[in-house]
Amino acid sequence: MDKTNQALQKIDAVYRTGPSLLTQQVAVRNTAANDLNTVNSVISGDDTLSTGEISNLDGLMDQYKANFVTAVQAAQSADEMNQALADFHTNLIKISNQHTKYNLVHQLQQSATDTMTAIENDPTLSASSEQE
């Protein structure tokens, strides 16, 4: 009987009941909301983005948020909720990557403008040299 009790105690120590599904759902939603707010504040604070770029990124955030909410509502286990959160984080990385691409394009455009201005203002170049 002692060995049975010891075995049951070992099992109980490993397999404890976790928080309720509702508690876990609230936790993953709060985590996702905080992470989304962080990404949103970075995007909204970037004054180099065009209206179209902001609109595109906002659309992606809305889409990914809706997908996350649907997945969490359908989740029947903590594993499914954690997967929904992991998928959401993957999508936030996609948004961040797109934001970085926009910034790189802006940097290239600015570099090209600066180079053209320097060429146009260089008194040592002739008109034919400038066009090359």
Which residue in the block uniquely carries the two structure tokens 């290239």? 108
The domain containing residue 64 runs over which residues?
A: 26-119
User: Alpha helix (H) ranges present in the chain?
Assistant: 2-14, 21-44, 51-74, 78-120, 127-131
Work out how many domains the chain is built from and give that number: 1
106 within domain boundaries: yes
The helix (run of H) or strand (run of E) holding residue 46 is: none
Query: Could you report the per-residue pLDDT of 13-41, keeping only the tens digit for each?
Result: 666 667 788 888 999 999 999 999 999 99
pLDDT classification of 3: cutoffs 50, 70, 90: confident
129 within domain boundaries: no
pLDDT classification of 123: cutoffs 50, 70, 90: confident
55 within domain boundaries: yes
125 within domain boundaries: no
**For the chain, what percent of residues have pLDDT higher than 90?**
55
Whether the predicted pLDDT of 131 surpasses 70: no
Radius of gyration of the chain (CA): 27
